Amino acid sequence: MNLRRLLPNVALAAVSLAIFTGGAELLTRAFDLRPAGGTALANPAWMGERVLLRDDYREKMAKAGVLSRYYELYEWDRFLFYRLRPDVNAELLDVFAPPRAQGRSRWSVHTNSRGFRTPEFADAKAPGVVRIVVLGDSSTFGWGVEHFESYAEQLGTALARRWSTDRSRIEIVNLGVPGYSTFQGRVLLERFALGLGPDLIVWSYLSNDGAMTGESDQATYQKRIGASGALLAALHQSRAFETLEAWSAVARERLQPAAALDPHDATQRNIPSYRVAAANLRSVVDLARGHGVPIVLVGQCTRGEPAAMMANIARTTDTPYLDATALLDGSIEAMMTEERFADLRGTQRERYGSEDLERHSKWLAFLPDTCHPNAVGHQLVADALADVIAGVLPPPPR
């Protein structure tokens, strides 16, 4: 008797819950009710609570009025923590450029159906084609330049010249994602890139391993592997859940604001040591070689200790290595004086002004953040990298 009375109540509760959750889902899909910061935990380290040990990009973006565009580039990912959204079309600008130059520093981002800034590609490579898969962070992604100006995109043309072969015989798959660490690069290589059957891997991470983190990436990843990670992935299919998660994070931050951190105070740093990054680097080299795939390491936006560490790992593991930042730093004097760079000097003077360019000569090869290469810097990196690869990988068969 009690069971007959209980069942209708349970059914009514289930129907009510379904109506409520369905209505919430429709509402949140019809109107984006998330806070301006986007979905919680779905952004690079420098756009969330994890702050890089350099100028605050978020503050610069907010002042330029483009912060929301950058947040919308990303979405949540179970194993990589976040990824680029598929089929994105966004117009952006270089927020570190001087105010009078920002109008001339616009650039666009277009992602393919898989969420990468590269042409569409199949899982299996075409016969007779050399496939090179390039993994890296924002410098590989092509931060601040058009996609065809990135070193990954220009690499195919540079290799075609060295190999005296048709450009169509060389396929470059650019898997660069801004903000990724060596750990995320390792996961991307293991879970996706090696499955594409590459003839060679270019691997370029390290500059983001100086981010302040709360919980380590490794610990988060281990949790995501299990059943709780699968449940979280299912919940993230719901816009209503993502909206609730985002507003919950906002509420927590307002009720319990985190103590301000001084990135230059070593006692306040809770960051993964470069020993962790070094272990990731070594495991990546072993992983690629275990699959019979040659690998080339590229240092981007790394100077000092990180650059020395990557160079040491390349030397001790006998891995081809290009220090792209050192290459560009060493090219500045030639760019300032040699005739072959006259057009570059004229273009940069027109963009930034003679006085600013005189004070900041590195802007000839880098963007004003002196981290990411500009279009000419990418070309120099592509040419140098093509020389390295040509010494490792044979050309496609005739």
23-32, 122-131, 198-207, range with the lowest pLDDT: 23-32
- Give the pLDDT mean for 39-58: 56
The residue type of 154 is Q
Q: Within 13 Å and on the Cβ side, how many CA atoms surround 216?
A: 10
Q: What angle do CA 319, 326, 44 make, to 5 degrees?
A: 80
Among 133-137, 250-254, 260-264, name the most confident range: 133-137
pLDDT of residue 51 exceeding 70, the answer is no
The residue type of 345 is R
pLDDT of residue 274 exceeding 70, the answer is yes
Using a 10 angstrom Cβ sphere, with 0-12 exposed, 13-18 middle and 19 or more buried, the burial of residue 204 is buried
Which pair of tokens denotes residue 35?
A: 């806070």
Q: Report pLDDT for 52.
A: 46
Q: What is the mean pLDDT of the chain?
A: 86
Q: CB within 8 A of 388, min separation 6: which ones?
A: 296, 320, 321, 322
Which of the four pLDDT bands, split at 50, 70 and 90, describes residue 300? Answer: very high
Using a 10 angstrom Cβ sphere, with 0-12 exposed, 13-18 middle and 19 or more buried, the burial of residue 262 is exposed
Ramachandran area for residue 309 (φ above 0: left; ψ -120 to 50: alpha; else beta): alpha
Among 150-159, 210-219, 342-351, name the most confident range: 150-159
Q: Report pLDDT for 278.
A: 93
Rounded CA separation 200/198 (Å): 5
Looking at per-residue confidence, does 37 or 228 come out higher? 228
CB of 188 closer than 8 Å to CB of 179? no
Which of the four pLDDT bands, split at 50, 70 and 90, describes residue 270? Answer: very low
Q: Within 13 Å and on the Cβ side, how many CA atoms surround 100?
A: 8
pLDDT digits (tens, 9 = 90+) for 302-358: 999 899 999 999 999 999 999 999 999 999 999 999 999 999 999 999 999 999 899
Q: CB within 8 A of 302, min separation 6: which ones?
A: 206, 207, 310, 323, 325
CB of 208 closer than 8 Å to CB of 265? no
CA-nearest of 391, 397, 389 to 156 is 389
Looking at per-residue confidence, does 264 or 308 come out higher? 308
pLDDT digits (tens, 9 = 90+) for 98-149: 888 888 889 999 999 999 999 999 999 999 999 999 999 999 999 999 999 9
16-30, 160-174, 300-314, range with the lowest pLDDT: 16-30
Rounded CA separation 148/160 (Å): 16
Which of the four pLDDT bands, split at 50, 70 and 90, describes residue 242? Answer: confident
